[in-house]
């Protein structure tokens, strides 16, 4: 795998690049739809192909418990199992383990935890995580890391960072197929010196890319942006940078501006389940009764199949009834919105217009509602 840096924005740290993997290229900045269990929730393969992301993400922790390594070995990895032919990135399971504070023990060896599925105990070590990701056959693997709350004290943060470094080297050692790329994860909480130390340690080793981990876990938005900027600026120019688990459209735009290339987040599907969508007019709630008789599309400027075929009134009805089709149609729209946003960002960097796109979008997303407009369109919330 290698990263081709095509253009550096002159106004900001935004960059346009291409990640070349064994299953094709990823145009960056890129957003990866999350397929936790080997499916992007509510979408089938044809939906996914129509959205056409260059890469999707799977969760090692969940896929290890179900269906398990044996199934991936039988089907020839996740590509053979789910029918997706383009690149797949798998996370290492570190974040999911972090989310189980009462059901896991972290030692030097790895994380011992009890399965939420059948109560059995599992040991997820760096080597085990690589073994599972090898069976899944992902094109980009992540090292197992110890994620910790941003609000943890300095000693605990240092300890988690140091164990993450040792686990990263063990993961590198455990990789058996060099065509599977391996990304390391920078930790260090919200401490400047620790973040620098983490970058300086990890970048001495032959990882294919670097993720900025341990953010979106309790810090403020300002801290997240500052630490993204600080870490991205110290990472090498010739490797991709991935901000894990982030975020809303504005979060993505802010991180691209600070030099991040890759993102993943469950927000597009999670918001869809709650009747919320991102539109060219801001964030919109489909559920209010004011939408009941609307024969307008969700977003008049959107070209997704949901906006082309269905009225807001119908989507309001389906969402209120908690009809799975409603969830699916909104998820399709939100995923389309994210892919479209990334295309706009890539084009803007290419044509030296990222600054004007940034200003247009932030103005659009933060514009205060005029009383008249608020009255007419009470379901619109701006972020």
Active site residues: 91, 264
To the nearest whole angstrom, how small is the minimum distance from the Cβ of residue 303 to Zn ion? 7
Q: Which is nearer to Zn ion, 78 or 252 (CB)?
A: 252
Q: Which is nearer to Zn ion, 26 or 307 (CB)?
A: 307
Q: Which of 198, 197, 191, 223 is nearest to 212 (CA)?
A: 198
Cβ-based neighbour number of residue 375 at 10 Å: 9
Q: Which is nearer to Zn ion, 111 or 304 (CB)?
A: 304
- Give me the helices (H) in the chain, please: 45-51, 60-65, 69-75, 77-82, 94-98, 126-136, 154-174, 192-202, 221-234, 249-257, 267-273, 305-309, 312-320, 324-350, 354-366, 371-376
The answer to whether residues 212 and 232 touch, using CB atoms and an 8 Å cutoff, is yes
**Cα dist from 45 to 86, 185, 332, 343, 354, whole Å:** 12, 30, 12, 21, 32
Token pair 């608020």 is found at 374
- Dihedral sign for Cα 20, 21, 24, 28, please: negative
- Catalog residues that contact Zn ion under the rule CB under 5 A: 302, 304, 306-307, 333
Token output for 131: 């073994």
The answer to whether residues 316 and 294 touch, using CB atoms and an 8 Å cutoff, is yes
Q: Which is nearer to Zn ion, 113 or 365 (CB)?
A: 365
- Dihedral sign for Cα 198, 20, 51, 299, please: positive
To the nearest whole angstrom, how small is the minimum distance from the Cβ of residue 300 to Zn ion? 10
To the nearest whole angstrom, how small is the minimum distance from the Cβ of residue 40 to Zn ion? 16
169 Cβ neighbours under 8 A, 6+ residues apart: 205
Return phi, psi of residue 80, to 5°. -65, -35
Q: Which is nearer to Zn ion, 42 or 146 (CB)?
A: 42
Which 3 state secondary structure label does DSSP give 234? helix
Q: Which is nearer to Zn ion, 328 or 333 (CB)?
A: 333
- For residue 29, whether the previous peptide bond is cis, meaning omega lies within 30 degrees of 0, is yes
Return phi, psi of residue 186, to 5°. -75, 125
């Amino acid at each position: 795998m290698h990263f081709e840096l095509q253009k550096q924005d002159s106004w900001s740290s935004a960059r346009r690049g291409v990640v070349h993997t064994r299953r094709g290229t990823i145009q960056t900045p890129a957003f990866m739809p999350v397929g936790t269990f080997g499916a992007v929730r509510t979408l089938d393969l044809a939906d996914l192909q129509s959205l056409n992301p260059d890469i999707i993400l799977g969760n090692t922790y969940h896929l290890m418990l179900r269906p398990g390594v044996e199934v991936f070995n039988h089907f020839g990895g996740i590509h053979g199992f789910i029918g997706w032919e383009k690149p797949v990135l798998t996370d290492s399971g570190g974040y999911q383990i972090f989310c189980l504070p009462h059901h896991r023990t972290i030692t030097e060896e790895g994380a011992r935890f009890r399965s939420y599925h059948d109560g059995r105990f599992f040991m997820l070590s760096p080597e085990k995580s690589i073994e599972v990701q090898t069976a899944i056959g992902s094109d980009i693997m992540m090292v197992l890391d110890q994620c910790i709350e941003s609000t943890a004290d300095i000693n605990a943060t240092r300890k988690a960072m140091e164990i993450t470094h040792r686990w990263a080297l063990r993961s590198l050692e455990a990789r058996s197929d060099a065509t599977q790329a391996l990304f390391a994860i920078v930790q260090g909480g919200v401490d400047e010196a620790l973040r620098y130390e983490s970058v300086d340690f990890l970048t001495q080793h032959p990882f294919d890319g670097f993720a900025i981990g341990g953010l979106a876990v309790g810090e403020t938005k300002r801290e997240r942006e500052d630490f993204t900027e600080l870490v991205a600026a110290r990472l090498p120019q010739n490797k991709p940078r991935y901000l894990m688990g982030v975020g809303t459209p504005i979060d993505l735009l802010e991180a691209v501006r600070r030099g991040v290339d890759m993102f993943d987040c469950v927000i597009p599907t999670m918001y869809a389940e709650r009747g919320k969508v991102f539109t060219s007019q801001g964030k919109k709630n489909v559920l209010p009764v004011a939408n009941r008789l609307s024969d307008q599309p969700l977003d008049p400027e959107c070209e997704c199949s949901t906006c082309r075929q269905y009225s807001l009134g119908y989507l309001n009805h389906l969402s209120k009834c908690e009809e799975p089709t409603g969830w699916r149609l909104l998820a399709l729209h939100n995923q389309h919105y994210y892919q479209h946003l990334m295309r706009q960002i890539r084009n803007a960097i290419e044509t030296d217009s990222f600054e004007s796109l940034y200003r247009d979008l932030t103005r659009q997303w933060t514009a205060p509602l005029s009383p008249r407009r608020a009255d007419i369109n009470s379901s619109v919330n701006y972020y």
